[in-house]
Amino acid sequence: MNRIIWIAVIIGICIYFANGYIEDRKKERAQEAKEAEIARITKATVSLLVSKTNAIDDWDKVLSEGEEVSFRKILTIDLEKLWLTDRPILFVGYIDDIATYNDQFYILKVDRSLLSSLHTLGTALSLELKCDKRKIDSFLKKYPNLVSGFDLSNNVAVVAKIGNVKTSYCIGGEGEREEVKIGEGYCIDIVFIGDVKF
């Protein structure tokens, strides 16, 4: 009799853990499906924006020569050829800073995120863009945690018309001088993309 009770207890425990595993897998699949749908909608939104503005969206692929990772030094002239055209560019990164330009505009500083692109470059890139205050205020109201600290899921896609490329230098984590190429221009549009890669 004791043996039958022990077998029943063991079977009950096995069923309990099996049900828990099945429920966990269902939740994981539902979360994966939700994330895939968010990525699909985000990519479609950005694709529509690129199409609407006729933006150049493959400049990083050109700079990396099609490689996923490129540590080749990027010269200012390389960016000038790709960014200083009659077309705007699509730039993916995170908002590093916002400063007042005047009553109507902000200067928005967007740094290129290493994890937001399929092409990693060896030179740090940033944009400093004149942006309409109303557009940015509305955007920040919709995404209030966007600039609340370093977060890999707070990326934005910016369509910008670049008018100038300059080089700046900063001190890196180990005390070495690091070069940053900065595109200056104005913001045409901005969308939140989270952690979706482009």
CA separation, residue 146 to residues 13, 109, 121 (Å)? 45, 13, 24
- The Cα 12–Cα 75 span in angstroms is 67
Bridge partners, 168 (sequence order)? 180
Mean pLDDT is lowest, of 4-13, 49-58, 112-121, 147-156, for: 4-13
* pTM: predicted TM-score of the whole model, two decimal places: 0.82
Report for 7-11, 141-145, 163-167: range of highest mean pLDDT = 163-167
Q: What is the pLDDT of residues 144-179, one digit of tens each?
A: 888 766 667 789 999 999 999 999 987 767 777 788
Q: Would you state the pLDDT for residue 55?
A: 97
| Domains of the chain, CATH where assigned | 55-194 (2.40.50)
Closest CA to 182 of 64, 79, 89: 79
